[in-house]
């Protein structure tokens, strides 16, 4: 039995909107699973042969997942500092300062994972450049929310956060971001891609693109008012290929 996993922004308050969005998508692409599957391990979904549709991260899609999945597109973000489906991570610290002030051997960077485009790759690129080595310590957390908790508690000094995650948390869990200071931004990158298993037919991919676009445009889904999406942009692997160059 196939699954659909859209759990990169899994906050409980947003799940009803995600379910409404997916109901509309499924209506337009009835070959997809009828309901979403919720999981704490989104990385496993990327490699699951039974996962028909999922949210992925841009860097793995440009590298290790290139032959495993096909790109359908990405959401255009209703954020003041986004450019349609492109955004820059928010780099935060407990104290204000210039980003360069934190590029020291004594600074502990906190990130969700080493292959996270917004969490680690963007931080390294913004501070020491493509291919550069972070000079300080590192602490891996498994998720952006936990990275914020670690920085706020003093377990690290600086973190790079997906801007949509930051916007959602500022509204839903403001205590997680209160007291943190934005000290920089990452490079412009495409937002999280919606992907399907490699080998999905071109007709199905096109149908899914139309279904997502219509679902986002429908005010009843809450895509704009709650999920902060204002359109769906059809994309392919070439849109994510430049991401690999950020670590070259």
Q: What's residue 248's pLDDT? A: 73
Write the burial class of residue 80 (CB in 10 Å: 0-12 exposed, 13-18 middle, 19+ buried). Answer: exposed
Cα separation of 115 and 61, whole Å?
10
In this structure, how many other beta carbons lie within 10 angstroms of the beta carbon of residue 221?
23
Q: Which CATH class, in words, describes the domain spanning 3-78+190-247?
A: alpha beta
Domain boundaries for CATH 3.40.190.10 within the chain: 3-78+190-247, 89-187
Report which DSSP code applies to 191: -
Q: Are 48 and 39 in contact (CB under 8 A)?
A: no
Tell me how many helices (H) and strands (E) the chain has: 7, 12
Q: What's residue 60's pLDDT? A: 96
Cα separation of 210 and 79, whole Å?
23
Question: Does the structural domain 89-187 have CATH classification 3.30.70.20?
Answer: no
Interhelix angle 163-172/144-153, rounded to 10 degrees, is: 70
Per-residue pLDDT of the chain (248 residues), as tens digits, is: 899 999 999 999 999 999 999 999 999 999 999 999 999 899 999 999 999 999 999 999 999 999 999 999 999 999 999 999 999 999 999 999 999 999 999 999 999 999 999 999 999 999 999 989 999 999 999 999 999 999 999 999 999 999 999 999 999 999 999 999 999 999 999 999 999 999 999 999 999 999 999 999 999 999 999 999 999 999 999 999 999 999 97
Q: Is 0.75 topped by the overall pTM?
A: yes
Q: What's residue 1's pLDDT? A: 80
Cα separation of 75 and 86, whole Å?
9
Show Cβ contacts of residue 206 under 8 Å, excluding neighbours closer than 6 positions: none
Secondary structure of residue 3 in the 3-state scheme: strand
Backbone angles phi, psi at 29, to 5 degrees: -135, 75
């Amino acid at each position: 039995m196939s699954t659909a996993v859209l759990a990169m922004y899994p906050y409980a308050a947003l799940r009803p909107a995600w379910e409404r969005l997916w109901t509309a998508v499924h209506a337009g692409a009835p070959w997809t699973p009828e309901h979403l599957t919720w999981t704490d391990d989104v990385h496993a979904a990327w490699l699951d042969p039974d996962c028909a549709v999922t949210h992925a991260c841009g860097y793995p899609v440009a590298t290790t997942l290139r032959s495993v999945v096909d790109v359908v597109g990405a959401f255009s973000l209703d954020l003041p500092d986004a450019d349609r489906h492109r955004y820059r991570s928010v780099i935060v610290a407990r104290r204000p300062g210039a980003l360069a002030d934190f590029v020291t051997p004594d600074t502990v960077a906190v990130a969700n994972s080493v292959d996270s485009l917004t969490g680690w790759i963007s931080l390294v690129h913004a501070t020491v450049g493509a291919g550069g080595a972070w000079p300080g310590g590192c602490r891996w957390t498994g998720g952006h929310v936990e990275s914020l908790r670690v920085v706020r508690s003093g377990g690290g000094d600086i973190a790079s956060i997906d801007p949509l995650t930051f916007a959602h948390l500022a509204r839903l869990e403001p205590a997680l971001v209160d007291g943190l200071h934005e000290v920089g931004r990452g490079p412009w990158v495409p937002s999280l891609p919606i992907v399907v298993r490699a080998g999905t037919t071109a007709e199905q991919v096109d149908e899914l693109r139309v279904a997502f676009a219509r679902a986002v445009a429908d005010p009843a889904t809450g895509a704009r008012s709650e999920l902060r999406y204002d359109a769906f942009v059809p994309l392919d692997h070439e849109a994510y290929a430049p991401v690999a160059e950020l670590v070259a």
